């Protein structure tokens, strides 16, 4: 069995958005202050808020649909996979939320795509801003590490185990039946 088209679309959309937010975040922080830098901060915040929305849709989807059963594997690997997937879901929410909290505490409101003003989650507070900034960095780095582990495991299945696991999340109609 493979994942449904909705699950596949959400998976790859989020993969692209997360890699883009990680790269842009790492790049923008080291720029010296300029209109360009502020523009990148806005883009980064919009991408992050989009990830938050996609994560909510994806979690709802996941809670109401079954994932295809995993192929046979040693128990520690199944446990590692479940733990990584669970922590990825946690990070999908924690990464954008700490960014949003940081921006709020700094007193910089997020205006989604420059059109929709989002509520500040907390009042301006420099001490809290520092804490949320550090949490944002720690959590997004952890998210990066989880993504790397997730990709390494996918590649191991593809090229070492050769069990076709990757096909289940690939767009296209090639492999077995689709879950609804
Ligand atoms: C999954 C979503 C997100 C990812 C992966 C992500 C990733 C990152 C990364 C890697 C950095 C650089 C950290 C460093 O090395 O200093 C960063 C910085 C930042 N992020 Fe995010 N971010 C996300 C969502 C958000 C959201 C939703 C907001 C605000 C609404 C936000 C606001 C910021 C700000 C303001 C900074 C700059 C911090 C500073 O000035 O030091 N981020 N982010």
Residue 166 confidence (pLDDT) above 80:
yes
- The whole-model pTM stands at 0.91
- Give the position, in ligand 1's atom list, of the atom nearest the Cα of 137: 13
Percent of residues, the chain, with pLDDT higher than 90:
92
Residue 179 confidence (pLDDT) above 60:
no
73 — phi, psi (to 5°)? -160, 160
> What residues form DSSP beta bridges with 116?
112
- Contact (Cβ atoms closer than 8 angstroms) between residue 118 and residue 111: yes
pLDDT class of 1 with cuts at 50, 70, 90: confident
Specify the pLDDT at position 176: 54
55: CA distance to ligand 1 center in Å? 16
Ligand 1 neighbour 105 (Cβ under 6 A): no
**pLDDT (tens digit per residue) in 118-132:** 999 999 999 999 999
Work out the average pLDDT over 159-175. 86
Distance from C-alpha of 173 to C-alpha of 68, rounded to nearest angstrom = 16
pLDDT class of 25 with cuts at 50, 70, 90: very high
- Give the position, in ligand 1's atom list, of the atom nearest the Cα of 133: 38
**pLDDT (tens digit per residue) in 42-51:** 999 999 999 9
136: CA distance to ligand 1 center in Å? 6
Tell which one of 23, 38, 44 to mutate to probe ligand 1, the residue whose CB is within 8 A of the most ligand atoms.
Answer: 44
**pLDDT (tens digit per residue) in 97-154:** 999 999 999 999 999 999 999 999 999 999 999 999 999 999 999 999 999 999 999 9
Residue 135: partners with Cβ closer than 8 Å, 6 or more residues away = 98, 101, 102
Residue 172 confidence (pLDDT) above 90:
no
C-alpha closest to that of 14 among 91, 92, 84 = 92
Residue 64 confidence (pLDDT) above 80:
yes
Specify the pLDDT at position 119: 97
Distance from C-alpha of 125 to C-alpha of 78, rounded to nearest angstrom = 43
């Amino acid at each position: 069995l493979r994942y449904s088209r909705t699950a596949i679309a959400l998976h790859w959309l989020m993969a692209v958005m997360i890699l883009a937010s990680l790269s842009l975040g790492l790049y923008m922080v080291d720029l010296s202050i300029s209109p360009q830098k502020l523009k990148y901060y806005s883009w980064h915040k919009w991408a992050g808020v989009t990830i938050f929305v996609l994560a909510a849709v994806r979690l709802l989807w996941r809670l109401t649909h079954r994932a295809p059963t995993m192929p046979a594997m040693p128990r520690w690997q199944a446990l590692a996979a479940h733990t990584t997937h669970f922590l990825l879901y946690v990070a999908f929410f924690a990464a954008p939320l700490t960014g949003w909290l940081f921006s709020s505490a700094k007193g910089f409101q997020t205006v989604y795509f420059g059109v929709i003003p989002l509520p500040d989650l907390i009042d301006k507070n420099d001490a809290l801003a520092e804490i949320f900034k550090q949490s944002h960095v720690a959590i997004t780095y952890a998210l990066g590490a989880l993504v790397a582990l997730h990709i390494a495991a996918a590649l191991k299945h593809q090229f070492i185990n050769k069990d076709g696991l990757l096909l289940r999340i690939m767009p296209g109609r090639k492999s077995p039946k689709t879950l609804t």
